[in-house]
Amino acid sequence: MSNLVIVDHPLVTHKISMIRDKNTNTRDFRTLVSEIAMLIGYEATRDLPLYPKRFSTPLMEAEFKMLSSMDVAVVPILRAGLGMVDGILSLLPTAKVGHIGLYRDHDTLEPVEYYCKLPSDLDLRQVFVLDPMLATGGSASAAINFIKQRGAKKIKLLCIVAAPLGVERITKDHPDVTIYCGALDERLNDKGYILPGLGDAGDRLFGTQ
Ligand code: PRP
Ligand code: URA
Protein backbone atom coordinates (compact mmCIF):
# COMPACT_ATOMS: atom_id res chain seq x y z
CA MET A 1 0.00 0.00 0.00
CA SER A 2 2.45 2.58 -1.22
CA ASN A 3 -0.08 5.43 -1.19
CA LEU A 4 -0.81 4.96 2.54
CA VAL A 5 1.00 6.91 5.26
CA ILE A 6 0.25 5.76 8.81
CA VAL A 7 1.09 8.58 11.20
CA ASP A 8 2.00 6.30 14.09
CA HIS A 9 3.40 8.98 16.39
CA PRO A 10 2.83 8.15 20.10
CA LEU A 11 0.73 11.29 20.60
CA VAL A 12 -1.54 10.29 17.73
CA THR A 13 -1.80 6.67 18.88
CA HIS A 14 -2.60 7.73 22.45
CA LYS A 15 -5.28 10.20 21.40
CA ILE A 16 -6.86 7.68 19.02
CA SER A 17 -7.01 5.15 21.86
CA MET A 18 -8.84 7.77 23.90
CA ILE A 19 -11.52 8.33 21.23
CA ARG A 20 -11.95 4.58 20.81
CA ASP A 21 -13.06 4.37 24.46
CA LYS A 22 -16.88 4.28 24.53
CA ASN A 23 -16.78 6.25 27.80
CA THR A 24 -15.12 9.30 26.20
CA ASN A 25 -17.75 12.03 26.21
CA THR A 26 -18.76 14.27 23.31
CA ARG A 27 -16.76 17.28 24.47
CA ASP A 28 -13.52 15.32 24.88
CA PHE A 29 -14.17 13.39 21.65
CA ARG A 30 -14.45 16.68 19.73
CA THR A 31 -11.29 18.12 21.26
CA LEU A 32 -9.31 14.96 20.58
CA VAL A 33 -10.48 14.65 16.95
CA SER A 34 -9.35 18.22 16.36
CA GLU A 35 -5.96 17.58 17.97
CA ILE A 36 -5.44 14.34 16.02
CA ALA A 37 -6.34 16.13 12.79
CA MET A 38 -3.70 18.75 13.54
CA LEU A 39 -1.03 16.13 14.19
CA ILE A 40 -1.89 14.18 11.02
CA GLY A 41 -2.06 17.49 9.15
CA TYR A 42 1.46 18.29 10.28
CA GLU A 43 2.69 15.19 8.47
CA ALA A 44 0.46 15.67 5.42
CA THR A 45 1.71 19.25 4.88
CA ARG A 46 5.36 18.20 4.87
CA ASP A 47 5.79 18.80 1.12
CA LEU A 48 3.92 22.10 0.80
CA PRO A 49 5.94 24.51 -1.32
CA LEU A 50 7.78 27.43 0.28
CA TYR A 51 8.37 30.76 -1.45
CA PRO A 52 11.19 33.23 -0.98
CA LYS A 53 10.36 36.53 0.71
CA ARG A 54 12.72 39.36 1.64
CA PHE A 55 12.23 41.27 4.83
CA SER A 56 14.19 42.49 7.83
CA THR A 57 14.75 40.85 11.16
CA PRO A 58 15.64 43.35 13.91
CA LEU A 59 19.27 42.86 12.78
CA MET A 60 19.39 42.68 8.98
CA GLU A 61 17.48 42.18 5.76
CA ALA A 62 17.58 38.71 4.21
CA GLU A 63 15.56 36.27 2.14
CA PHE A 64 13.37 33.82 4.05
CA LYS A 65 10.93 31.04 3.15
CA MET A 66 7.18 31.32 3.60
CA LEU A 67 4.04 29.35 2.75
CA SER A 68 1.67 30.94 0.26
CA SER A 69 -1.84 31.62 1.53
CA MET A 70 -3.07 30.76 -1.98
CA ASP A 71 -2.02 27.15 -2.06
CA VAL A 72 -4.39 25.08 0.04
CA ALA A 73 -8.05 24.04 0.27
CA VAL A 74 -9.58 21.73 2.84
CA VAL A 75 -12.74 19.78 2.10
CA PRO A 76 -14.46 18.03 4.99
CA ILE A 77 -16.96 15.29 4.18
CA LEU A 78 -20.08 16.09 6.22
CA ARG A 79 -20.78 15.45 8.92
CA ALA A 80 -17.85 13.83 10.65
CA GLY A 81 -15.16 15.58 8.57
CA LEU A 82 -16.26 18.87 10.18
CA GLY A 83 -14.61 17.69 13.39
CA MET A 84 -11.20 17.82 11.69
CA VAL A 85 -11.49 21.31 10.16
CA ASP A 86 -10.39 23.40 13.16
CA GLY A 87 -7.30 21.27 13.69
CA ILE A 88 -6.19 21.72 10.08
CA LEU A 89 -7.07 25.43 10.04
CA SER A 90 -4.94 25.97 13.14
CA LEU A 91 -2.01 24.99 10.88
CA LEU A 92 -3.29 26.65 7.71
CA PRO A 93 -5.52 29.53 8.84
CA THR A 94 -5.92 31.05 5.37
CA ALA A 95 -6.95 27.84 3.58
CA LYS A 96 -10.23 27.89 1.68
CA VAL A 97 -12.84 25.44 2.91
CA GLY A 98 -15.22 23.47 0.67
CA HIS A 99 -17.93 21.11 1.93
CA ILE A 100 -19.26 17.85 0.55
CA GLY A 101 -22.35 16.34 2.19
CA LEU A 102 -22.55 12.55 1.92
CA TYR A 103 -24.18 9.91 4.06
CA ARG A 104 -23.96 6.15 3.74
CA ASP A 105 -27.20 4.42 2.92
CA HIS A 106 -27.63 2.03 5.85
CA ASP A 107 -28.64 -0.92 3.66
CA THR A 108 -26.45 -0.57 0.56
CA LEU A 109 -23.54 1.29 2.29
CA GLU A 110 -23.42 3.40 -0.91
CA PRO A 111 -22.77 7.16 -0.42
CA VAL A 112 -25.69 9.52 -1.06
CA GLU A 113 -24.83 13.14 -1.89
CA TYR A 114 -26.85 15.98 -0.33
CA TYR A 115 -24.54 19.01 -0.53
CA CYS A 116 -21.51 20.20 -2.49
CA LYS A 117 -19.94 23.66 -2.31
CA LEU A 118 -16.32 23.92 -3.37
CA PRO A 119 -13.85 26.78 -4.00
CA SER A 120 -13.69 27.69 -7.70
CA ASP A 121 -9.90 27.53 -8.02
CA LEU A 122 -9.29 23.97 -6.82
CA ASP A 123 -7.02 23.32 -9.81
CA LEU A 124 -4.47 25.71 -8.26
CA ARG A 125 -4.55 24.24 -4.78
CA GLN A 126 -3.35 21.30 -2.75
CA VAL A 127 -6.63 19.83 -1.53
CA PHE A 128 -6.91 18.01 1.80
CA VAL A 129 -10.06 15.90 2.01
CA LEU A 130 -11.07 15.30 5.63
CA ASP A 131 -13.05 12.38 7.03
CA PRO A 132 -12.18 10.60 10.28
CA MET A 133 -13.42 7.20 9.07
CA LEU A 134 -12.37 5.32 5.92
CA ALA A 135 -14.50 2.16 5.99
CA THR A 136 -15.60 0.78 2.60
CA GLY A 137 -14.03 3.88 1.00
CA GLY A 138 -17.24 4.64 -0.92
CA SER A 139 -17.77 8.08 0.64
CA ALA A 140 -14.18 9.25 0.22
CA SER A 141 -13.97 7.91 -3.33
CA ALA A 142 -17.18 9.73 -4.31
CA ALA A 143 -15.98 12.95 -2.65
CA ILE A 144 -12.66 12.75 -4.51
CA ASN A 145 -14.59 12.25 -7.77
CA PHE A 146 -16.48 15.52 -7.16
CA ILE A 147 -13.26 17.33 -6.33
CA LYS A 148 -11.52 16.02 -9.45
CA GLN A 149 -14.53 17.00 -11.60
CA ARG A 150 -13.97 20.53 -10.28
CA GLY A 151 -10.41 20.48 -11.55
CA ALA A 152 -8.34 19.49 -8.49
CA LYS A 153 -5.09 17.79 -9.43
CA LYS A 154 -3.31 17.49 -6.09
CA ILE A 155 -5.41 15.68 -3.49
CA LYS A 156 -4.57 14.07 -0.16
CA LEU A 157 -7.07 12.19 1.99
CA LEU A 158 -6.71 12.67 5.75
CA CYS A 159 -8.53 10.24 8.02
CA ILE A 160 -8.10 9.07 11.57
CA VAL A 161 -9.03 5.37 11.42
CA ALA A 162 -8.88 3.41 8.16
CA ALA A 163 -9.89 -0.13 7.25
CA PRO A 164 -7.92 -2.18 4.70
CA LEU A 165 -10.97 -2.34 2.38
CA GLY A 166 -11.21 1.47 2.25
CA VAL A 167 -7.52 1.85 1.56
CA GLU A 168 -7.78 -0.70 -1.27
CA ARG A 169 -10.79 1.11 -2.73
CA ILE A 170 -9.06 4.51 -2.78
CA THR A 171 -5.85 2.98 -4.13
CA LYS A 172 -7.82 1.41 -7.00
CA ASP A 173 -10.13 4.36 -7.77
CA HIS A 174 -7.60 7.14 -7.12
CA PRO A 175 -4.02 5.86 -7.31
CA ASP A 176 -2.80 9.48 -7.41
CA VAL A 177 -4.20 10.25 -3.94
CA THR A 178 -2.08 9.67 -0.84
CA ILE A 179 -4.02 8.57 2.24
CA TYR A 180 -2.85 9.72 5.70
CA CYS A 181 -4.33 7.94 8.69
CA GLY A 182 -3.52 7.56 12.36
CA ALA A 183 -4.44 3.87 12.59
CA LEU A 184 -5.09 1.02 10.18
CA ASP A 185 -7.67 -1.25 11.81
CA GLU A 186 -8.49 -4.89 11.15
CA ARG A 187 -11.74 -5.13 9.21
CA LEU A 188 -15.40 -4.12 8.91
CA ASN A 189 -18.36 -5.73 10.63
CA ASP A 190 -21.45 -6.79 8.65
CA LYS A 191 -22.91 -3.27 9.01
CA GLY A 192 -19.82 -1.64 7.53
CA TYR A 193 -18.40 -0.36 10.82
CA ILE A 194 -14.66 -0.47 11.39
CA LEU A 195 -13.44 -3.00 13.99
CA PRO A 196 -12.24 -2.29 16.59
CA GLY A 197 -12.85 1.30 15.38
CA LEU A 198 -14.57 3.93 17.47
CA GLY A 199 -18.22 3.59 16.46
CA ASP A 200 -20.12 6.21 14.46
CA ALA A 201 -17.82 9.21 14.30
CA GLY A 202 -20.55 11.68 13.32
CA ASP A 203 -22.83 10.60 16.14
CA ARG A 204 -20.03 10.73 18.69
CA LEU A 205 -18.88 14.18 17.53
CA PHE A 206 -22.33 15.71 17.57
CA GLY A 207 -23.93 13.72 20.37
CA THR A 208 -26.66 12.26 18.18
CA GLN A 209 -26.35 8.58 19.05
C1 PRP B 1 -19.31 8.02 7.96
C2 PRP B 1 -17.91 8.61 7.91
C3 PRP B 1 -17.60 8.53 6.45
C4 PRP B 1 -18.30 7.27 6.02
C5 PRP B 1 -17.26 6.19 5.92
O6 PRP B 1 -20.25 8.96 7.58
O7 PRP B 1 -17.83 9.89 8.42
O8 PRP B 1 -18.06 9.64 5.70
O9 PRP B 1 -19.23 6.95 7.05
O10 PRP B 1 -17.81 5.03 5.42
P11 PRP B 1 -17.43 4.46 3.98
O12 PRP B 1 -15.94 4.51 3.87
O13 PRP B 1 -17.96 3.05 4.03
O14 PRP B 1 -18.12 5.28 2.94
P15 PRP B 1 -21.82 8.66 7.71
O16 PRP B 1 -22.36 8.11 6.43
O17 PRP B 1 -22.10 7.88 8.95
O18 PRP B 1 -22.42 10.11 7.82
P19 PRP B 1 -22.26 11.19 9.00
O20 PRP B 1 -20.82 11.66 8.98
O21 PRP B 1 -23.20 12.26 8.60
O22 PRP B 1 -22.62 10.54 10.30
N1 URA C 1 -18.51 5.41 9.62
C2 URA C 1 -18.28 5.60 10.95
O3 URA C 1 -18.60 6.66 11.50
N4 URA C 1 -17.70 4.61 11.64
C5 URA C 1 -17.35 3.44 11.07
O6 URA C 1 -16.81 2.56 11.77
C7 URA C 1 -17.60 3.26 9.70
C8 URA C 1 -18.16 4.27 9.00
What is the pLDDT, as a whole number, of residue 1?
Answer: 63
What CA dihedral angle connects 169, 174, 176 and 178, to 10 degrees? -40
* pLDDT at residue 70, as a whole number: 75
Q: What is the pLDDT of residues 73-125, one digit of tens each?
A: 999 999 999 999 999 999 999 999 999 999 888 889 889 999 999 999 999 99
Among the atoms of ligand 2, which is closest to the Cα of residue 192? Answer: 7
Q: Is 181 in the pocket of ligand 2 (CB under 6 A)?
A: no
Radius of gyration of the chain (CA): 17
Mean pLDDT in residue range 173-200:
97
Q: What number does CATH give the domain 4-49+67-206?
A: 3.40.50.2020
Q: Please, is 168 exposed, middle or buried when counting C-beta atoms within 10 Å of its C-beta (0-12, 13-18, 19+)?
A: middle
Q: Can you tell me the mean pLDDT for 19-24?
A: 98
* pTM beyond 0.85, yes or no: yes
Higher per-residue confidence, 1 vs 90:
90
Asked whether 138 and 104 are in contact (CB, 8 A), the reply is: yes
Torsion of the alpha carbons at 167, 169, 173 and 178, rounded to the nearest 10? -10
Which sign does the torsion angle of CA 6, 134, 132, 192 carry?
A: negative
Assess whether the C-beta atom of 143 lies below 6 angstroms from ligand 1.
no
Task: Indicate whether 55 pLDDT > 70.
Answer: yes
Residue type for position 178 = T
- At 188 the pLDDT is 98
- 184 — pLDDT class (breaks 50, 70, 90): very high
The C-alpha atoms of residue 111 and residue 142 are separated, in whole angstroms, by 7
Q: Is the peptide bond before 93 cis (omega within 30 degrees of 0)?
A: no
Are 204 and 26 contacting, i.e. CB atoms less than 8 angstroms apart? yes
Q: Which residues have a Cβ under 8 Å from the Cβ of 101 and sit 6 or more positions away?
A: 77, 78, 79, 113, 114, 115, 116
* CB neighbour class for 57 (10 Å; exposed up to 12, middle 13-18, buried from 19): exposed
Q: Report pLDDT for 110.
A: 86
Cβ atoms of residues 111 and 139 within 8 Å: yes
Q: Give the model confidence (pLDDT) of 128-179 as tens digits.
A: 999 999 999 999 999 999 999 999 999 999 999 999 999 999 999 999 999 9
Please tell me which residue in 94, 105, 203, 208 is annotated as part of the active site.
203
- For residue 41, the CA-to-ligand 1 centroid distance in Å is 20
Across the range 3-15, mean pLDDT stands at 97
Choosing from 24, 104, 150, 171, which is the catalytic residue? 104
Q: Is the pLDDT of residue 69 over 90?
A: no
Q: For ligand 2, say whether the CB of 158 is within 6 Å of any of its atoms.
A: no
Q: Is the peptide bond before 79 cis (omega within 30 degrees of 0)?
A: yes
